Amino acid sequence: MIRENKKYSRQQTFSSLAILFILMVIGTGIFLAQFDFNPAVFQKDLFFPPTAKDKDFALTPLTKSVIALPPGLVPLTLPESFDAQNLSDKINGKAELYLSAGFISLSSQRYKDKKGSNLWIEAYIYDMGNGQNAFAVFSAQRREGAATLDLTPYAYRTQNALFLVHGRFYIEIIASEATDLAFDPMKLLAENFVRNTAAQTVAIQEKDLFPVQGLVADSIALISTDAFGFDRLNQIYIAEYELGQERLMAFLSRRQETRAAQDLAVAYQKFLETFGGQTIDANLPIKNAKLVEILETYEVVFFCGPFMAGVREAASKEQAINLALQLYEKLKEVADES
Amino acid sequence: MNPDPDKNDLTRRQFMTRAVKAGGSIAVAGAAGFWFHDSNGPGRSEEIESDIRLPDFSVPDLGPKMSIIRGRNRVETLRLAVKSIGGIENFIKKGDRVLLKVNAAFASPQMLSATTHPQIVSEMTRLCLDAGASLVIVSDNPINDPGSCFTLSGIADAARSAGAQLFLPRDDAFKPLSVPEGKLIRNWPVLYDPLKRINKIIGTAPVKDHHRSGASMIMKNWYGLLGGRRNIFHQDIQTIITELAMMIRPTLVILDGTTTMMTNGPTGGSLADLKETSTMIAGTDQVAVDAFGATLLGRSLNDLPFIGMAEAAGLGTADYQSLNPVMAEV
């Protein structure tokens, strides 16, 4: 050891000690700093690179646009993309609607009028994973009385916006003005997206299972989760009916098997009873059906083959039973065939 | 370290000794690292509490006041709403420094009513300056990027043209803050920079449906003062709204129900989501003002639990009629 020490000068020894001292100071600093860690300011994006987004519509290199641009529009802002972790950074409290319906990603971008008017347009392209999920968010937000468009089987416009389902995508195109000047480029954007994005046509077979008489146009919707406040009711199709002066709702859900449909019907009936519903003894013309009175309205719950179905918010027993019977007849045809 | 490798006179024994020492050092360092390793990561520090406290911005001895003015012209209804509860001089004195907390959450055009209308921003700024305020700051921490939100909503132009100072949030503007009786807002980053520069705060928001909370009005609008990963509060949104009302005791609040977003809130997106409700509400009791706002949305207090929770916390009354609000029409 003595012989080894002779190889190093005093200066080298001091330098080494100084370096060790600095390293100790840094280490102590890091040790103390970690106690100030606050997850409130932790931004995962600082640490993790953004994940690869959708494969079917890559950015157009020249325009940096999420949709091929029609003449007359130029990008106002760069494209943005969001995943399930940060969707609320874009749409705040509405994120839950999408997340519960199977949301995968959102790409959005704003465009402006090339001629310099005040018009600007924002396009939102939600990848919902499949057509059914896309229909769920489309139908949940459908604006009453809006004009249907023939862009895809599920598309409509309002005074300032355009909404559609294309395959697994739900698209919103929103303008800053409610003018014809705004509508034309919005429609062209939508057409470009549909033309350039391969997607399977969305077929919602359940919509043909609802009785036609009294059905409110475009009222069929899909509730992905927690339908009617019951956490076991998922993938529930609903339809609004107008019978005379009254409005009521029919609902149905195809389950994996008859037993699952039966269990769910029983569970929903019990759920209603838990919240003050009273099951009424009635000789119903529907097999496996129950009539429940709750909050001065009537509900019918039944199962038919793999379908759990019913009627709710009826003002009278007769209306509830009549609509439920029509629904039952339609479901029975399908259940018998399968 | 050896200046001349050719003169290396290291013996086999020395080499073995050094190798064992080096190996031992590595093993000790590795063991120490393993011992210190926390697979769960650092948790939220509850022990280091912020000592920052926000003052009560309300005017002492003024008591709860409220006005409900019907009319479609925002500027006129706003003026009358403020005048009906004693005038702006009741709230803003010469030399006051005012924060006008707007809702600039989204980069959304003003016609969609997802954000505070620019006319409210400009008129409130003018009222404050005319009353002698030495400074009016307009600010919010938007959901989207601040520049786009303030610009595209029209708030930036309205604020600047009326003489207000626009404050866009930046990282160093936030300080951790705790609400003493709160369980969620503990050591949480709050947009403190503008708050430390003012002695009066006026909250102004449109009436909106909100998918998660049921409604977004005055109390929910203080959410825009939070920083960090605030979206986690959506899991307990009724409580966070109540705590926000605990955090800010405003000087005055203005709820704009000229147009109400009835559906698809808080973003909306279509004029079809809106309804002309032609009402402007001003008041000092934010709970009462929100309780009235619920009626514009056609919601009951049961639909909006945060109102009852705020009342139970002693922040105001849900029975707005008990305040005998001044009712008028323009």
Residues B110-140 have pLDDT tens digits of 999 999 999 999 999 999 999 999 999 999 9
- Give the tens place of pLDDT for each residue, A296-308: 999 999 999 999 9
- Give the tens place of pLDDT for each residue, B231-282: 889 889 999 999 999 999 999 999 999 999 999 999 999 999 999 999 999 9
- Preferred mutation among B145, B267, B271, B275 to probe A, highest tally of A CBs within 10 A: B267
CA B326 to mean position of chain CA atoms: 28
Give Cα separations from B202 to A73, A74, B88, B257, B294 (angstroms): 39, 38, 11, 17, 20
Q: How far is A50 from chain B (nearest CA, A)?
A: 17
Q: Quick check: A159 and B216 CB within 8 A?
A: no
Q: Could you give the CA distance from residue A301 to residue A288 in angstroms, rounded to a whole number?
A: 8
Per-domain residue ranges for chain B?
66-329
Q: Domain B66-329 belongs to what topology? A: Rossmann fold (3.40.50)
- Preferred mutation among B45, B211, B262 to probe A, highest tally of A CBs within 10 A: B211
- B10, closest residue in chain A (CA to CA): A4
Q: What's chain B's length in residues?
A: 330
Q: How far is B208 from chain A (nearest CA, A)?
A: 12
Q: Could you give the CA distance from residue B124 to residue B113 in angstroms, rounded to a whole number?
A: 18
| Bridge partners, A72 (sequence order) | none
- E strands along A168-280, which residues? 169-175, 221-223, 236-243, 246-254, 278-280
- Give the tens place of pLDDT for each residue, A251-299: 999 999 999 999 999 999 999 999 999 999 888 999 889 999 998 999 9
Q: Quick check: B228 and A146 CB within 8 A?
A: no
Q: Quick check: B213 and A42 CB within 8 A?
A: no
Give Cα separations from B1 to A5, A12, B4, B8 (angstroms): 12, 10, 9, 11
- Give the tens place of pLDDT for each residue, B178-212: 999 899 999 999 999 999 999 999 999 999 999 99
A146 contacts in B (CB within 8 Å)? Answer: 270, 272
Element (H, E) at B259: strand B252-261
- Give the tens place of pLDDT for each residue, A82-137: 999 999 989 988 999 999 999 999 999 999 998 888 899 999 999 999 999 999 99
Q: How far is B252 from chain A (nearest CA, A)?
A: 26
Structure tokens at A242: 């107008």
A89 contacts in B (CB within 8 Å)? Answer: 143-144, 231
**Are the CB atoms for B49 and B178 separated by under 8 Å?**
yes
Q: Quick check: B107 and A34 CB within 8 A?
A: no
pLDDT of residue B48: 55
Structure tokens at A25: 């100071």
- Give the tens place of pLDDT for each residue, A215-261: 998 999 999 999 999 999 999 999 999 988 899 999 999 999 999 99
pLDDT bin (cut points 50, 70, 90) of residue A60 is very low
Mean pLDDT of chain B: 92
Q: Quick check: A144 and B273 CB within 8 A?
A: no
Name every residue whose Cβ is closer than 8 Å to that of residue A244 and which is 6 or more positions away in sequence. none
Q: Quick check: B14 and A4 CB within 8 A?
A: yes
- Whether B300 has a pLDDT exceeding 90, the answer reads yes
B105 contacts in A (CB within 8 Å)? Answer: 92
End-to-end CA distance of chain A: 90
Q: Quick check: A41 and B228 CB within 8 A?
A: yes
- B105, closest residue in chain A (CA to CA): A92
Number of A/B CB contacts below 8 angstroms equals 120
**Are the CB atoms for A259 and A267 separated by under 8 Å?**
no
Predicted complex ipTM = 0.78
Query: Rounded to two decimals, what is the model's pTM?
Result: 0.80
